[in-house]
Structure 1
C-alpha cells in the first residue's frame, strides 16, 4: 500500500468508482424498434383515419388497407402492410416483474441459520432474501424472465461480516500515515528503522500539507530495543517540525519537543483525569509519552485537514472494510467531531455500508440527546447510534493495562510492584456507566487488565441497581486478562465480550517474557472460557493491522500459539464476526445469517471457512461483497452479481 498520495485525488477516485454504476446506468442506448400492432378484428368499430405504423412495401401496386384496419374482400392482408394503431386501445400490459432479481447457485452457502445450516442457492428480491434451499427448488420456483443467475463457480457465500469494534475513519488516517508496524505486518524492527521511515514520509505531499510528521503502528514491545520511544528519539526525525507517533493501540502517543511545545505541555502540566503525561525519571520534565485521555486530547487538537480530505479518509476506511467483506462497520470511541463527520458523509450518500457509532461518553455524551441525525432506533442514510463507550485502562503488551498482580518485569523506571494503572476512579467509572443506563444507551467498556475488569463489573452492577431495566446488553472490549471468576459477574450483567485474538501471536515473546508471564499469557483473551460459560463471544480486528481481515481474526482465534483450551472452533469463530455482533447491535433479525426475510448482505469467499484447516483460514480471500443485493466490491474473480 502506498502511503504518500494526495487525499483529494483519493477522494475523487473513490467517488468516481462509487458513482460509476450510476453513470453507466445513464448511458443512452439505441432506440427500440417499433413493435408491429396485431391485426384488427374482422369487424372493428369505426375509427378515425390514422397513419399506418409501417408504410406499405409496394404502394404503387398494392392497395392500402382500409382506414378502419379491415382486410380486402379476399380476406388476406396486403403484403408488407401493418394494421394501424388504435388510439382508443388500452396500453399494452407491462411485462410481469421477475419473481426474484438475483439467484446465487453452484457453490457452498454457509447460512449460520440453525434451521438450515447449509444450502445450495439463495434468491433475492430487492434488498431482501426471499428463499434459501436446494438449487433445483430455488431455480424452479424463483427464476423467471429478468432474474440474474449468478454462478458461484464453487465459491462460498456467507453472511456479510459485522464489525464488533473498530475505527473506520481512523483506519483511513492510519493507512496513509508513516507505516511503523513491526514484522510481519510491517518492516520497522528497531528505533533507527522507525526514525528512517518517519524521515522518508516527511518528504511526501501529505506531510507538507498537514504540517506534522505522523506515524502509526509503533509497538515498543516488539522493537529490538524493548523500550518506549521518547521525545529525544523523535527530535532526531526533526527538531523544527512537530512529530507525532501513534501507538498501535491508539491509546498512547509520543511527541517530539516541537509537538510538545505546540500542544502547550510543560513540566507544570497536570495529568488529566483518565490519562497521564510521561516524565523523565526523577523529574517533572515531559518525556514525550502521553497515555489515555492525554493522548486523546492531543489527537483532538491536531491541525485540521479540509472537509474534502477528511471525507476522503472515511472513504479510504470504507474501501478497506468493503474489500474485506464487511457490510456493517463500527466507529468506536467517536468524538463530537466524528459525529459531525459521519453525519456529513451520510447526508451526501457516501456511505455504502452500514455504520454504527459508539460515541465516547465523556466527550460526546452531552450532544447525543439533541443530535438530529444520529439516533439509536433507525438508520439515517446508513448511519445509526450503537451506544456509548468508555475506556478504563490500556493494553497488556505495553504494560498499561491495570492488573491485580504485578507485571513479570516492570517498565524502565518503575518499581517491581508495578501493575499498571486505572484511567478512572471507581466512582467516576460507575458514574459514567450509570449515565449510559439512564440515557437508555448500550454501553461498551474497554478494559484489558483484570483489575480494570473488576472495576467495570462493579460499575455495571451499581448502574443496574440505580437504573433498573432490561435489554442493556453491555459490551466488554479487550478483556485480555479476564479471569474465570469474573465470567459469572459479566453473565449476571448480561454482557458480551469482544476479543482481539491477533495480539497473542504478534506479541507472544513480550507477553511471556516481560509483561504477563507464561501462565497469564496462556489465558490471554480467553475466548474458550467465555464461550464455555455461556457468554456471547465476539471478535474484532487488531488495531495494529491496517487490513481488517476477518479471516486473520478467525485464524488467530482458532489456532493459538499458546493456551489451546482457549481456541474457538471455526464455526464459533465465524459466528463471532457475523451473527454474534449482529445480535449485540440489536440487528439479528435482519443481519448475521442467511435466511428468508433478512437483508441480502453477503461476502463471497474463495473457500469455505468450515472446510478449511484452522491454520489456513488466513489464506481465504474475499472476492466480492454484496450490500442489500448490490455489489459494493468485486475482485473480478466472479461470483458476484452485476452492479445494479
Structure 2
C-alpha cells in the first residue's frame, strides 16, 4: 500500500541510496536487479509507508521502563504487593518510583491515597505516577521529603488534594507534582547524561519494534537535545526524530536563529512546545463547564497572557508552535492566541499544532479549520480511558470528546500518536482504537459516530503525520524520491475487520532501505 493517489498499490519497490527509486510490478522492478543488488522477498506480506508517531516522550519512555509497572493492576491489594516487592530490594530512605496506576481499573473505583500505601513503605518515599502523566501519588514519607503538609500552598497551575480535615491525601495534580524532588515526567533531578543516553537508546530501539520509522519528541530540554544530537552523529538512531523544544528554550533559540525545520532527514527541530492546561483523566484540563460531581472544578488554565506572548514571539520568528490543549476552555484560549499572532504576523502555511484536542466542540473545530491549525491526537486514550471520560463529562460532552472523524471530515489535518509513555508507541493499537473506539474495560463502544475508516486511521500515522511536520515531500507515502521508510505487516489491514487489527504483527521495520 503506497497511499499515493497515482499508484495506490504496487508489488515491488526499488531502493537506491536510502530512497525510493521505482515502484511497480515485480517483473518491472526485477529488471533493475544487478549482481550486487540485495533482494528481500516478503512472501506476500503487506508493506505500508513507515509509521510516524507525532507525540513520544522519548526520555520518559526509556526511564519509566525501569520503574514499578502498575498498568492493568486491578486492586489496592495488588498495588501494595508490587510496591512491597520493590521496597524489599531498595535501600532504606531511597525513593521508589512507580507508574501507570488507574483508578478506573481498580475494583475500588477511587483514587489511591497515601494511607493505602504507607504500610508497605514506612521508610522509603514513594512516587507513583498516575497513568494520565499529569498527576502523582506520594506516601507520607514522600510528602515529608517534598516538604508538603496541610499548610503547603500549591504552585500556580497545580493542585494538592486534601481530605475533609485538610490533610494532604498524597495526590498531586498538574504542576504540584513537580514539588517532589523526583519524578517521571521531567525527572528531577535530571538523570546524568550517561543515564539519559541509555534511556534514549532503550526508547528508540523499543519504538522500532512497533513499526515506527519516525517520531516527534515534545518538550525536549537542553540535555535531551544534546544527547539525541550525539546519537544521531554517531549513527545510533534507528529511526528519524523531530524534536519539539520546550518553550523555556525559545529565547535561546531565537537569539541563535534556530527555527523549525533545522536539521536533516535523521534529526530535526520542529515546533516549540507550550502547555495551556492539564489532563481530562486527572480532571485538571481547563473546561468551560465543571467536571461532573465536582461543581467547583473547571480544571487549570495556565496564564493565557504568558502563553499568548510566547505564541506571538514564536510566530513572528517563523517558528511552528505546538500547544498542549485538552479542555474546551484551553482550546478556545489557544485558538484566540493563534488568531492574534497570525493577525500580527500573517503566515500562509504555519501549521500551528494543538496537542491532544480532547474536548473539541463544533464551533472550536470550525475556528481551528479557518486558522489552518493541525491536531496531533491519541486514539488509544479513548479505548483505555473512555469510561473515565464519561464519568467526568457526561453524555452530552462525550459527543465531542476526541471527535476524530469530525475533525478529519471537516478538513482538519489530524495525526495519530501515543503520548508515550502514557500508552505504548504502538500505531496498530492506535489504528484499532480509532476504528473501533471499543472500551478495553467494558467492551462498549465510545461515541460510535466518531469511529474512522481503516484508510483514515492509517493515514493518521503516515501521510497526515508527515504533513504535521512539513515532511510530506519526503515521508508518508511510498513514491519515487521519498525516503525508503517502510513498515512490514503480517496481514493487510484493509482486508480485515477493524476488530482483527490487533492480531496483525509488525514483521519488519525498514528505515532508509535498511532493516532495523
Q: Same fold (TM over 0.5)?
A: yes
Q: Of residues 74, 96, 118 in structure 2, which corresponds to 1:189?
A: 74
Map of 2:263 onto structure 1: 379
1:302-313 superposed matches below 5 A: 302-313=188-199
Contact preservation (8 Å) 2:403, 2:450:
yes
Change in 2 beyond 3 A, CA 1:622/1:336: same
Q: Of residues 309, 312, 322 in structure 1, which corresponds to 2:208?
A: 322
Aligned-pair distance for 1:563? 1.9
2:8 is aligned with 1:130: no
Please, which moves more after superposition, 564-573 or 492-501?
492-501
Q: Of residues 197, 221, 229 in structure 1, which corresponds to 2:112?
A: 229
Distance in 1 (CA, whole Å) between partners of 2:318 and 2:177 is 29
Distance in 2 (CA, whole Å) between partners of 1:508 and 1:630 is 39
Map of 1:219 onto structure 2: 102
Contact preservation (8 Å) 1:436, 1:442:
yes
Map of 1:351 onto structure 2: 237
Map of 1:621 onto structure 2: 505
1:97-176 superposed matches below 5 A: 110-140=1-31, 142-176=32-66
1:317-466 superposed matches below 5 A: 317-361=203-247, 363-369=248-254, 376-379=260-263, 382-410=266-294, 417-466=295-344
Contact preservation (8 Å) 1:551, 1:619:
no
Matched residue SS, 1:528: helix
Map of 1:479 onto structure 2: 357
1:104-146 CA-to-partner distances (Å, cap 9, x unmatched) read xxxxxx0011111111110011111100111111212x11221
Matched residue SS, 1:465: helix
Change in 2 beyond 3 A, CA 1:391/1:595: same
Distance in 2 (CA, whole Å) between partners of 1:281 and 1:432 is 39
Contact preservation (8 Å) 2:3, 2:478:
yes
Aligned-pair distance for 1:166? 1.5
Aligned-pair distance for 1:231? 2.7
Aligned-pair distance for 1:155? 0.3
Change in 2 beyond 3 A, CA 1:296/1:591: farther
Contact preservation (8 Å) 1:251, 1:296:
no
1:490-569 superposed matches below 5 A: 490-512=368-390, 514-541=391-418, 543=420, 547-560=424-437, 561-569=445-453
Map of 1:61 onto structure 2: none
- Structure 1: which 5+ residue stretches go unaligned? 1-109, 183-187, 411-416, 633-644
Matched residue SS, 2:337: helix
1:159-209 CA-to-partner distances (Å, cap 9, x unmatched) read 111111111221112222111112xxxxx11222112212223345xx559
Map of 1:202 onto structure 2: 87
RMSD: 2.4
Map of 2:474 onto structure 1: 590
Aligned-pair distance for 1:497? 1.4
Matched residue SS, 2:493: coil
Distance in 2 (CA, whole Å) between partners of 1:301 and 1:623 is 34
Aligned-pair distance for 1:291? 2.2
Contact preservation (8 Å) 2:57, 2:419:
no
Change in 2 beyond 3 A, CA 1:163/1:297: farther
Contact preservation (8 Å) 1:166, 1:331:
yes
TM-score normalised by structure 1 residue count: 0.74
Contact preservation (8 Å) 1:502, 1:542:
no
- Structure 2: which 5+ residue stretches go unaligned? 438-444
Change in 2 beyond 3 A, CA 1:543/1:418: farther
Change in 2 beyond 3 A, CA 1:326/1:430: same
Contact preservation (8 Å) 2:53, 2:425:
no
Change in 2 beyond 3 A, CA 1:352/1:334: same
1:427-449 CA-to-partner distances (Å, cap 9, x unmatched) read 22312322321333211111221
Matched residue SS, 2:478: coil
Contact preservation (8 Å) 1:497, 1:538:
yes
Distance in 1 (CA, whole Å) between partners of 2:282 and 2:157 is 17
Aligned-pair distance for 1:507? 2.5
Contact preservation (8 Å) 1:210, 1:305:
no
Distance in 1 (CA, whole Å) between partners of 2:230 and 2:143 is 32
Distance in 2 (CA, whole Å) between partners of 1:613 and 1:542 is 26
Aligned-pair distance for 1:499? 2.1
Aligned-pair distance for 1:292? 2.1
Distance in 2 (CA, whole Å) between partners of 1:562 and 1:370 is 47
Aligned-pair distance for 1:545? 5.7
Distance in 2 (CA, whole Å) between partners of 1:376 and 1:304 is 26
Structure with the bigger RCO (C-alpha within 8 Å, sep 6+) is: 2
Change in 2 beyond 3 A, CA 1:534/1:516: same
Contact preservation (8 Å) 1:453, 1:482:
yes
Matched residue SS, 2:40: strand
Aligned-pair distance for 1:282? 5.1
Aligned-pair distance for 1:598? 0.5
Distance in 2 (CA, whole Å) between partners of 1:532 and 1:179 is 38
Map of 1:254 onto structure 2: 137
Which is greater in Rg? 1
Contact preservation (8 Å) 1:391, 1:423:
no
Matched residue SS, 1:516: helix
Q: Of residues 142, 159, 171 in structure 2, which corresponds to 1:276?
A: 159
Contact preservation (8 Å) 2:64, 2:421:
no
Matched residue SS, 1:236: helix
Change in 2 beyond 3 A, CA 1:383/1:269: farther
Map of 1:103 onto structure 2: none
1:5-154 superposed matches below 5 A: 110-140=1-31, 142-154=32-44
